[in-house]
Amino acid sequence: MARAAGSEEDMHRIDIPETHTEPLASILNNLRLERCGTGRYRGQNLVQITGKVYGGQVLGQATMAAADDVQRSLGIGEDERLAHSITAAFQRAGHLDEPIEFQVEEINDLRSFSTRNVTAYQGDRLIFTARVSFQLRQPGPTLASPMPDVPGPEGLPSSVDFFGALDNVFAKVMSSTNGIDMRRVEGDIYLRPDPGRSPRQHLWLRARSPMPEGTSRTLQRAMLGYSADQFMLEPALRALGLAWLSRGISVATLDHAIWWHRNFDMSEWILAEMECVSAQNGRALVNAKFFQDGRHIASMSQEGMVRVPLPALN
């Protein structure tokens, strides 16, 4: 399909409603990519104590870029074609001090589906690739996994309170910049391993402050991708008898696939049911289902690098 040449409008940013409540305000501003021409976008980076770009940030930005390109190239609204899947690969670690340039390539625009490839660069360094698929709203048969029966989030320890109570640089950054409240049914493994070494765990999550009025369904989906990258590999650590602060541990996302099934609201509690299904050769694979109000809203798979000195696994 032929595209119109870039115009002055292309230099504007993706339209995302604003909030003045931090840290959600900074996250939404990060997803408000700058349009740099047809199929081209630029994004900045969120502060990270690791000194590297957070993978969930790039995943969320790529989702927003692909959706904006579909809507603009077809001249349609979000309701007409909504992202239903993304399959992403993290090629290299990103540097915090460099903006990220996203290039969106049209693969097809068919009667019911649209597909886009997204590549992300810092200078001439390719750091990320993804395929994002969109579908016209259509009726069809319905089937969904049942929501697990687990304790609710209200009585569980909050990640916000946990980091807020610690007096170190890492905790202060997490407390001030992480816009997601996480509550683990089986307990956290930040400082020490789970003695039970179960490969399964359940985690409640939601935005620390309500999403602003006018939030699109695309932005909700991008926010779930942004959120999940920080805990998807945790069942692998739990099963291997590791903690996030185990000596010598090195964890990084290699690839991440998301299938969005139903609409949801990041302002309300979402339950993640996760399982590590394999770990070998310094890699681990985790599958997850996400639920809200009894509905199966999304599924994910993530493979990541999990490396530790061998004695740590004894």
The catalytic residues are 229, 253, 302
Nearest to 106 by CA among 79, 61, 72: 72
β-pairing, 295-307 with 34-37?
unpaired
Helix (H, G, I), strand (E, B) or coil at 230: coil
Q: Quickly count: other Cβ atoms within 10 Å of residue 15's Cβ.
A: 10
Is the peptide bond preceding residue 23 cis, with omega within 30 degrees of 0?
yes
Nearest to 18 by CA among 3, 9, 29: 29
294 dihedral zone (left: phi>0; alpha: psi -120 to 50; beta): left
User: DSSP labels for 96-115?
Assistant: TTS-EEEEEEEEEE-SSEEE
Helix (H, G, I), strand (E, B) or coil at 196: coil
Nearest to 36 by CA among 113, 119, 101: 101
Which token pair is 101?
Answer: 């340039």
In angstroms and rounded to an integer, the radius of gyration of the C-alpha atoms of the chain is: 19
Which token pair is 307?
Answer: 């490396």
**Phi, psi (degrees; rounded to nearest 5) at 169:** -60, -45
User: DSSP labels for 84-151?
Assistant: EEEEEEE-SPPBTTS-EEEEEEEEEE-SSEEEEEEEEEETTEEEEEEEEEEEE--------PPPP---
